[in-house]
Every structure is written in C-alpha cells, then in structure tokens.
Amino acid sequence: MAKQLENLKVDVIEAGFAAASEGDLKAIKEIAKVVKTSTVASLSRAKKEDIDKAWEAVREAVKPRIHTFIATSPIHMTYKLKMTEKEVMEKAVEMVAYAKGYCEDVEFSAEDATRSSVDFLAKLFKEVIKAGATTVNIPDTVGYTTPNEFHDFIMDIRSKCPELDEVDISVHCHDDLGLGVANSIAAINAGATQIECTVNGIGERAGNAALEEIVMALETRKDVFETLTNIDTAQIYRSSQLLSRITGVKVQPNKAIVGANAFAHESGIHQHGVLSNKETYEIMTPESIGLNQNKLVLGKHSGRHAFKDKIETMGYKLTSEELNKAFIRFKEVADKKKEVYDRDIDAIISRQSSVGEEKFKLKRFVINSGNSITATAAVLLEKDGEEIEVIDTGDGPIDAAFNAIEKISGTKVKLEDFSLSSVTEGKDALGDAIVKLREKGAIFIGRGLSTDVVEASVKAYINALNKMKDQENIKNLEVV
C-alpha cells in the first residue's frame, strides 16, 4: 500500500504509531526503507519514549518526519491528561525540541483543537514553532466542527499567531457528522497547506476525510479553489481497490468517486443525456481516476510479452519473479474464463500472497452437496511436505470444506468474517473471497480468487492460515 501511495504521489505517508506495538514499529521501518519520494512520518505522543521509537522507525527514510501531539481541549486536559494549560504548553515545547534533535522535519498536533481555546492555541503554536515545529496541525479530532465555523476558527488563530504563516498549516478532519471533506476544503480556503486524509475515508469511528473526494473536488472545481495537489489522479481507483483488498473492507456502491455506482447511470433520463453528451451527467471522466472502461484485454492465447505490456500500461511495476507468478495465475484464469478484464488482472496482481513459506498447500478438494443431503467435503492439503486428506461435513459446501481444513491444520480458530463477491460481470466471473480468522486476539485476512466460488473460499481460508503460521514463525525466530 505504501508503494501505491507513492505511485499516487502523496506528499507525506503517516505510516503508523511506532510506540503502539512492535508490529507497528517494524511496519514503519519497512515502509521507510522502500519509499523514496514521499515523506515518511511516525506519530508519537508528547513523550520521550514515543519520540525515540518514532525516530527508530523513520530514521532510514529518505525524507523522515516525527509527528508529535498532545491534547489541548479543556475536557481532554482535565479528564485525560490531568494537566493545566501551562503544563501542556511546557510539555509540548519540550517534546518538539526533543524531536528536533533527531529530525529536521517535525509536525506538532493539538489534539481536539476544535474544542480548544483560540487564545491558548495561538500562544501554544507560537512557542512550538519557536521550538522547531515545521508543520502545525489543527485537528478536528471528534468530527465536531462545521465548515464555516472551522474556516473562521483557523482565520482567528492565524490573526493571533502570525508565526503560522512561516510553517505549513495542516488539518486532520474526522467524519463523525459527515463533514470531514467539507471541513478540509473550508480549511484550505482559510490558508491550510496540508490536508491529512485517508484513502476510502478509512479511520477511527466514522472515518477520516476521504483523499479521493478532496483531490477530485479540487481538481474538478479548479475555477473555485485555484489550489493544486501533486496527486496523480489516474492512480486513485487502483489505490482504493488495493486498500479494500488488503483490509477486506469493501467500498459502498454509492461512495463518491470510487464507488461502483459513481459512474453508473440507471435513470432513463440520465442515460439519454449521457448517450448524447457525457458531460450532461458526468462532471469528471472515469479515466481521470484510472477507471479503464475497456472490455476484453487479453485471452488464454496471449503471451508473456503482451501480458507484461498490458500490466505496465495499467501502471504496475513488477519484478521478474512477481511477473512470472502473475503470468502463471493469469493463464490459470484465462483457461477458465472466456474474457479477461482489467479488473481481473487488478485482482490477480493484488492477490499475490505476501506469505513467506507456505505451510499449507491445496492439492485437491471434492464436494458433495445438495438441498436434500448433508454437505460433505474431502480436502487434500500438503502440510510441511506431507499430504493429508480429511473428510468432514458442514452447513453447506463451504462450511464443510472449512471444517476439514481446520482439522488438517490442527489449529482452533474463530471465523470472524467471510465474504464473497464477483470481480467482474458474467456467469464465468472470478469469485473474490475474503476470510478473516481470529486467533488469540489477532486477525488474519486471507484472499482467494477462482471462477469456482467454493475453490475461491477454500483458497482464502488456506491463505489466512498460512499468514497465521508465518506470523508464528516470525515470533519463534525472535524468541531464539
């Protein structure tokens, strides 16, 4: 995902909260190593130990940033921090200066700023800028403010703290009232130069301001905003789809910009207008966000060269090994499907497993099911080089197959979630299965693709199991 955000040309990737866990720390480190053009930031509380971890995480980045924060609203200071305004200011200044000792690029956030005193924020920002902050963030942490109010709030702070004109003014808007994007745009009109947002609007509670909506609003209405971003809008749809596949959280059909219905026209009046002139009902083109409308692109007789050329035109950059794996998978799909679409290829490449050594490999499965018999599944897996076959029953073919796999694995897990959808249209469409397994509080997401929905489901379950075992192997190595 970090590589795709770099393709999207985001300016800053806030890769995680290094002090939260060893997993977050390692993830940020890996991102810092591979990202070359975007700034890589780690979030930290205003604590030395957090800032130490943040620097450890981003120190190898080409452009590292430490982002430290402390709450400034009366309710947070009183009940969460149990600190006075004076104590909060002293701590903020001290920690910004401490972070500056590690890193030239330091961002400071006043958590719950929109429920804070303007006068206090103005004084605080003046001092943290003096201590070395290069970006000052004014977050609407609980999604409380409204556009006009937020605009005036920022203008008021700027009038009382002219030092803000010397740094980047950032905002971070949550979407609790559905105003995250509107508030972000209001902030731009008030002089904000950095917008913190997320692909698909994911985030805490109701989520954050959606990157794709902000970017396309600015792009489509240049006449109103006269504001530019560095974003490559043709990478928006691919970024959205990739994130959905990674998290297993699908985008609602009527989601602005990236939803399945965003460029669909069902009303007869709308259809007539679009057929006459697309601009009657389309204020932006599908192509502008990277949504390719081409139908058939490749078939089972297509060669490696044609496949390589196609994925490059789609914006993918694969290593030789990744290309070989993707081509083999493409051939498997092409043998089963009459037509292979761009979205099929997107799914094939995005579904390539990030698992290290696979503990479980599917050899074959046989299903016996119907509405008058108990569903039975015979599943043969290769486990650590040994072939094991188990027959089990269940409430339907997929449940029976999952039960058999669970017995072979010898691992008792909870099936947290299971979903199945088609990648494209048609009765031979690829089935896209997502399985979420829970073990000891951790969630492992598995994915599988096949024109056979049962096979897709089985592959997804095995993929999740392999990720679980891969994680166990990593932990064991650490202990040794």
Count of other CB atoms within 10 angstroms of residue 390: 16
Q: How many domains does the chain have?
A: 3
Residue 333 lies in a domain: yes
Amino acid at 16: G
- For CA atoms 253, 256, 262, 268, the dihedral sign is positive
Residue 67 lies in a domain: yes
Q: Per-residue pLDDT for the chain (480 aa), expressed as one digit of tens each? A: 999 999 999 999 999 999 999 999 999 999 999 999 999 999 999 999 999 999 999 999 999 999 999 999 999 999 999 999 999 999 999 999 999 999 999 999 999 999 999 999 999 999 999 999 999 999 999 999 999 999 999 999 999 999 999 999 999 999 999 999 999 999 999 999 999 999 999 999 999 999 999 999 999 999 999 898 999 999 999 999 889 888 888 899 899 999 988 887 655 666 566 567 777 778 898 889 987 654 435 666 777 887 887 787 676 778 888 888 888 888 888 887 767 777 788 778 866 655 556 889 999 999 999 999 999 999 999 998 899 999 999 999 999 999 999 999 988 889 999 998 888 777 778 888 999 999 888 888 888 888 899 999 999 999 999 988 877 654 443 332
- Specify whether 386 is located in the same domain as 333: no
Give the integer Cα–Cα distance in Å for 113 and 171. 10
Do 324 and 465 reside in the same domain of the chain? no
Beta carbons of 56 and 24 less than 8 angstroms apart: no
Q: Which pLDDT belongs to residue 291?
A: 79
Pull the structure tokens for residue 403: 């039960």
Asked, for residue 279, whether it belongs to a domain, the answer is no
Please tell me whether residues 136 and 23 are part of one structural domain. Answer: yes
Tell me, yes or no, whether 306 and 408 share the same domain.
no
Determine contact, residues 375/394, Cβ cutoff 8 Å.
yes
Task: Give the model's pLDDT for residue 194.
Answer: 98
Its domain, for residue 344, covers 294-352
22 to each of 27, 54, 69, 269, 418, how far by Cα in Å? Answer: 9, 12, 20, 56, 28
Are 100 and 155 within one domain?
A: yes
Domain-terminating residue out of 352, 378, 396? 352
Residues 348 and 426 in one domain: no
- The answer to whether position 235 is within a domain reads no
Containing 300, the helix (H) or strand (E) segment is: none
- 17 inside domain: yes
Beta carbons within 10 angstroms of residue 169's beta carbon: 21
Residues 91 and 186 occupy one common structural domain? yes
DSSP string over 401-449: HHHHHHHHHT---EEEEEEEEESSSSTTPPEEEEEEEEETTEEEEEEEE
Residue 417 maps to a domain: yes
The residue out of 173, 196, 219 marking a domain boundary is: 196
The answer on 370 and 344 residing in a single domain is: no
* 315 and 426 both lie in a single domain: no
Measured distance CA(15)–CA(22) in Å, rounded = 14
**CA-closest candidate to residue 108, choices 79, 74, 132, 73:** 132
CA distance 469 to 463: 10
147: in domain = yes
Last residue of a domain, one of 320, 352, 384: 352
Find the helix packing angle between 236-247 and 342-350, rounded to 10°.
Answer: 50
> Same structural domain for residues 334 and 402?
no
Mark residue 191 as left, alpha or beta (left: phi above 0; alpha: psi -120 to 50; beta: remaining): left
- Residue that is written with structure tokens 């429920």 in the block: 115
Closest CA to 378 of 407, 412, 411, 414: 407
Q: Quick one: 344 and 368 in the same domain?
A: no
67 and 98 in a single domain? The answer is: yes
Residue 448 within any structural domain of the chain: yes
CATH number at residue 440: 3.30.160.270
**Would you state the structure tokens that stand for residue 157, as one six-digit string?**
């702070």
Q: What was the pLDDT predicted at 274?
A: 56
Q: Which CATH number is 113's domain given?
A: 3.20.20.70
Q: What single-letter amino acid sits at 240? A: S
pLDDT at 221: 95
